Structure formats: structure tokens, C-alpha cells
């Protein structure tokens, strides 16, 4: 099975980070092969930037010469080396990722470097660097406070301005607080250009956020999906549109232009804040359903028949990933710090705070039925989302910590994750192997499709009715739950199973 959306198992220490960053000769030699072609430089080779570079390299039969730039740091430099060695640093279940990379290697129009000199050769610079929210959480993972530090992002923009052409297009795709392009990106670029004695009124700045979805539609979520965009002025908006039309299937997925970059920046965080609040809304209802003896899943399915309510969420173990865990806080911070608002976005902040507590609620759900002290617990799934290997901010990490602190001995299974990077733990991918060990408690913790109907898994449950089974996602088949001899099956949000 392919491991979607995961990092190749590279020993990062095998790459020696250069003390002096000077890659000009290699960059010039690379671009000399593509004289007359436009140059696209992608800043940031993470999960978005690396694949964005592939999409650009494959646009219109190799129309662009593409350079990916990342920092000379242990966590990033190895990606540069891997790309230039002909190995893409992101594995995916999407076959297009490998196909696009192989085609780019054949065309020879993709190169990676850590030298900011690359920006001086760019017609278009795409900004795909992370901008995180610094959250302060308590012992139960309750949100105690947060802040947004723009220093790192500002330095990244400064590196572009210190080298780019005065008339280049700088396209910000990173999720940023509303107001960032107008209040930080443009002033920083103009300041750097002025320091170099260049005109400051011709730089073009646009914003168009990604809606990247890991998994089998990885490439299509960039190339074949709707895009919202704007520019800091008319010329920037026109240049952004012209570029996006060369890399996105705009005939089938038309572009949407908004009035200014404040609007597009707000659109991104509003999308994710809405999603996060929808999830948070179900937390209290799942607890209510457990108290009332109600199967919340059948309730939600009944409601979903109404078209206006088709996106109502199910209960779950928590919210993970890079966006939903922070974007509403980024918006609230922007309201107060970018625009001088006297109030926060209180409901949006509360949504994040509620979601952060979901792993604790799942732990309490388990503890209400059985003690975990000195028990052997199997967690089925460690990634934050089903059928992908993305473990960033996975709520399973918090559940693991709560179980461990309560005295449980924990084993891990995930069909997509070999190594849990954030926890620095190896993960078993062979389900039958983990089922041969002693298990007192089994927890369905990630919505991987294989857990719905794996024969070995349900044969094990039939043969071991003494095992407590906690389904935190509603993934187990209803027929299995109703006909199982094991009466120790509990599902989060299902009070109808309480008296079994």
C-alpha cells in the first residue's frame, strides 16, 4: 500500500548543510537551458510548496523553469538534496505526484536550492511558507492563550525583496492573518527594493490561498479546483489572474476575484473557522446523546437528508492538521492587531478551544467505562485524518499522552504511517501483527477505511469478547456492533449502547 502524504524515510543527518550559501553557478546553469522561458520560484518546499512546484513544472508542457527554495536547516535542507537527486520528498497515494515528478525530471525544468539568489531570476515568486499560531495549552489541552509571531514570515518576505526584480509578481499562497499583504508584504518588499536603489512602485503582489487536500486527489486539489484571488492593486490582480490561468483548469473551475487581498485572506480563515465551529458544535451534542441514551449518528443521518443541513458533522476524537487547529485564532488576532478591533472573534476562538479539548473528552469517555491503568491499549490510527499519513497536530497525540499518563501500555497501528514524526515513534503497519499481542482495550482513533471491514480485525473481536472496544469515530459497522458477543463495545456519541 502506498503511504499517502508522508515524508520519505530519509536520514536527514546524511546531508551536510553548507556553511556558505552560494549556488549561483548551478542556478545560472540550470536556467541557461531554458532561455526565453519564464521562471517561477516557489518559496517553501513543504507539503504545499513542493507539490505546487510540481504543478508549475508541468504547466503547459513545461512552460516554466521552476526553482524551489527552502532554508539550510536540518528540517528542510534534506528536501533540496532529495529533489536534486531525483527523489521527491513527499510520498502520496495520488499517482499523479510521482508522474508529475518523473515528467519534471525528464524535462529537467525543476531545481531546488537554499540560495536566495534564485529570487533575482524569478518572473513569479510563490510564497508557500508556514505561519503558525503559538498556542498555550493546559494539562487537558485546554486553550489558555495564543499569539501570532510574524517575524519569521516577515524575514521570508524580506529575503525575496532583497533579491527579486522590481517588477516581479510575488504571489502569497500561505494562510496569513487578514491584512498581511497590505500591511506587511508590500511595505517589506518596497523597503528592500528602496535599499537596493530600485523602483518601489512596480512590484506586483497577489494573494490566492490553497485548498490542498491530501490523499488521492492531491494534485487535483491544486490544479483542478476553484481558486479565489486578489491583488493589492489592479495591475497585481491582473498579473495574478494571468499566471493562475496557466496552471489551473480555469475553464472547468473558474477563478473568483475579490476586491482586495484583505478579502482573500479573510476568505481563507473564514472557510476554516466555519469548519472548525461546525465540528465544535457537535461536541456538546455528542455528550448530550450519551446522557440521553440516543444514537447521535442516526440522528445526524436523518438530519442530513435536509439539503440545507447536509454538512452537519459527526462526533469524533478531535481536530488535527495544519489549518483547522489555528486559522480562526489567526483571524481573531488580525482583528485586534491588524485593524485595531476592540473585541476578539469570541465564538471562533471558543470553537478552537472546544476542539482542543476533544481528545480529553475521548479519554474521559474511555475512563467512564474502564480504568486504563496497567492496561494494554491498542490505538488504531495515528494520523489526523482518514486514509492519509498526515500526523501534524493529530488529536491522537493528545489521546496517547492522556492514556500514557494514566498508566496504560500503548501499541500503535496505522496503515499509512511508518514513523510518527511529532512523537518520534515507530508505528506498525501490519494489523495482524499487532493483533497477536495482548490487548485489553482497543481504540478506533483514525477514520481509515480499512478499519470498517478488515476481516482479521473483526475476527479478533469475535474471539476476544473480554476486550473493551472504544470507537471514537462511529466507524464500526452497525451489524457488527449489534450482533457481536462482545458487549464491551462503546461508541462516542451513542448513548443507546450505554446499558449493554
Confidence of residue 483 (pLDDT cuts 50, 70, 90): confident
pLDDT > 80? residue 56: yes
Structure confidence by residue, pLDDT tens digits, 442-482: 999 999 999 998 999 999 999 999 999 999 999 999 988 98
Confidence of residue 5 (pLDDT cuts 50, 70, 90): very low
Structure confidence by residue, pLDDT tens digits, 164-219: 999 999 999 999 999 999 999 999 999 999 999 999 999 999 999 999 887 789 99
The percent of residues in the chain predicted with pLDDT above 70, rounded, is: 97
**Grid coordinates given for 142:** 485546554
**Grid coordinates given for 12:** 536527514
Report CA 76 to chain centroid distance, whole Å: 17
- The pLDDT score that the predictor gives to residue 9 is 45
Specify the residue for cell string 505561519: 131
- The pLDDT score that the predictor gives to residue 464 is 93
Contact 193, 187 (CB under 8 A): no
- The pLDDT score that the predictor gives to residue 144 is 97
pLDDT > 60? residue 11: no
Phi and psi of 244, rounded to 5°?
Answer: -60, -35
- The pLDDT score that the predictor gives to residue 135 is 96
pLDDT > 50? residue 7: no
Which residue, 352, 354, 351, is CA-closest to 325? 352
- The pLDDT score that the predictor gives to residue 500 is 67
Q: What is the DSSP letter of 386?
A: T
Average pLDDT, the chain: 93
Which residue, 74, 66, 21, 17, is CA-closest to 43? 66
- CA gap 338, 402 in Å, rounded: 37
pLDDT > 60? residue 12: no
- The pLDDT score that the predictor gives to residue 13 is 58
Domains assigned to the chain = 6-264 (3.40.50.720), 274-497 (3.40.50.720)
Contact 8, 45 (CB under 8 A): no
Q: What is the pTM of this model?
A: 0.92
Confidence of residue 75 (pLDDT cuts 50, 70, 90): confident
Q: For the residues 374-384, what does the mean pLDDT come to?
A: 97
Interaxial angle between packed helices 358-367 and 346-356, expressed in degrees from 0 to 180 and rounded to the nearest 10: 40
The percent of residues in the chain predicted with pLDDT above 90, rounded, is: 85
Let me know the angle formed at the C-alpha of 321 by 317 and 322, rounded to the nearest 5 degrees.
145
pLDDT > 80? residue 1: no
- Comparing 47 with 408, the larger pLDDT belongs to 408
For the residues of 33-80, what is the DSSP string, one character each? Answer: TTTTSEEEEEE--STTHHHHHHHHHTGGGT-EEEEEE--SSTTTHHHH
- The pLDDT score that the predictor gives to residue 215 is 78
Contact 314, 283 (CB under 8 A): no
Structure confidence by residue, pLDDT tens digits, 292-330: 999 999 999 999 999 999 999 999 999 998 899 999 999
CA atoms within 13 A on the CB side of 223: 19
**Grid coordinates given for 73:** 536547516
pLDDT > 70? residue 6: no
Q: For the residues 216-234, what does the mean pLDDT come to?
A: 95
Q: For the residues 430-447, what does the mean pLDDT come to?
A: 95
Report CA 11 to chain centroid distance, whole Å: 23
**Grid coordinates given for 252:** 472547468
Specify the residue for cell string 495515528: 382
Give the start-end residues of each E strand in 138-283: 143-148, 169-172, 204-207, 227-231, 255-257
Q: What is the DSSP letter of 305?
A: T
Amino acid at each position: 500500500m502506498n503511504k499517502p502524504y508522508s515524508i520519505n524515510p530519509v536520514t536527514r543527518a546524511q546531508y551536510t548543510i553548507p556553511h556558505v550559501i552560494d549556488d549561483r553557478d548551478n542556478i545560472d546553469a540550470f536556467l541557461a537551458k531554458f532561455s526565453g522561458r519564464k521562471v517561477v520560484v516557489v518559496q517553501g518546499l513543504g507539503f504545499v510548496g513542493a507539490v505546487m512546484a510540481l504543478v508549475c513544472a508541468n504547466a503547459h508542457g513545461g512552460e516554466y523553469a521552476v526553482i524551489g527554495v527552502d532554508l539550510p536547516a536540518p528540517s528542510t535542507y534534506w528536501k533540496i538534496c532529495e529533489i536534486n537527486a531525483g527523489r521527491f520528498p513527499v510520498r502520496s497515494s495520488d499517482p499523479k505526484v510521482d508522474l508529475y515528478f518523473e515528467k519534471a525530471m525528464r524535462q529537467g525544468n525543476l531545481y531546488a536550492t537554499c540560495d536566495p539568489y534564485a529570487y533575482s531570476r524569478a518572473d513569479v515568486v510563490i510564497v508557500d511558507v508556514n505561519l503558525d499560531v503559538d498556542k498555550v495549552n493546559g494539562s487537558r489541552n485546554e486553550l489558555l492563550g495564543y499569539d501570532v509571531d510574524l517575524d519569521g514570515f516577515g524575514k521570508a518576505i524580506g529575503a525575496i525583496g532583497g533579491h527579486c526584480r522590481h517588477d516581479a509578481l510575488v504571489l502569497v499562497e500561505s494562510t496569513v492573518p487578514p491584512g498581511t499583504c497590505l500591511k506587511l508584504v508590500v511595505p517589506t518588499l518596497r523597503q528592500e527594493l528602496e535599499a537596493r536603489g530600485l523602483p518601489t512602485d512596480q512590484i506586483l503582489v497577489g494573494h490566492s490561498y490553497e485548498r490542498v487536500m491530501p490523499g488521492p486527489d492531491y494534485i487535483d486539489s491544486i490544479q483542478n479546483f476553484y481558486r479565489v484571488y486578489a491583488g493589492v492593486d489592479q495591475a497585481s490582480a491582473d498579473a495574478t489572474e494571468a499566471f493562475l490561468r496557466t496552471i489551473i483548469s480555469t475553464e472547468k473551475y473558474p477563478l473568483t476575484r475579490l476586491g482586495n487581498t484583505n478579502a482573500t485572506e479573510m476568505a481563507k480563515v473564514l472557510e476554516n473557522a466555519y469548519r472548525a465551529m461546525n465540528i465544535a458544535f457537535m461536541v456538546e451534542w455528542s455528550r448530550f446523546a450519551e446522557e440521553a441514551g440516543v444514537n447521535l449518528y442516526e440522528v445526524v443521518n436523518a438530519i442530513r437528508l435536509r439539503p440545507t443541513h447536509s454538512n452537519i458533522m459527526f462526533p469524533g476524537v478531535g481536530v488535527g492538521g495544519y489549518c483547522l487547529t489555528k486559522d480562526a485564532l489567526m483571524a481573531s488576532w488580525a482583528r485586534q492587531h491588524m485593524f485595531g478591533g476592540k473585541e476578539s472573534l469570541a465564538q471562533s476562538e471558543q470553537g478552537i478551544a472546544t476542539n482542543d479539548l476533544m481528545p480529553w473528552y475521548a479519554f474521559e469517555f474511555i475512563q467512564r467505562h474502564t480504568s486504563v491503568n496497567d492496561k494494554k491499549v491498542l490505538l488504531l490510527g495515528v494520523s489526523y485524518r482518514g486514509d492519509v499519513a498526515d500526523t501534524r497536530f493529530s488529536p491522537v497525540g493528545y489521546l496517547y499522552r492522556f492514556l500514557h499518563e494514566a498508566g496504560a501500555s500503548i501499541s500503535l497501528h496505522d496503515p499509512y504511517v511508518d514513523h510518527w514524526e511529532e512523537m518520534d515513534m515507530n508505528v506498525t503497519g501490519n494489523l495482524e501483527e499487532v493483533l497477536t499481542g495482548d490487548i485489553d482495550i482497543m481504540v478506533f482513533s483514525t477514520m481509515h477505511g480499512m478499519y470498517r471491514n478488515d476481516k482479521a480485525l473483526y475476527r479478533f473481536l469475535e474471539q476476544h469478547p473480554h476486550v473493551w472496544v472504544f470507537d471514537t469515530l462511529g466507524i464500526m459497522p452497525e451489524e457488527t456492533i449489534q450482533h457481536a458477543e462482545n458487549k464491551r463495545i462503546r461508541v462516542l456519541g451513542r448513548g443507546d449502547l450505554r446499558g449493554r
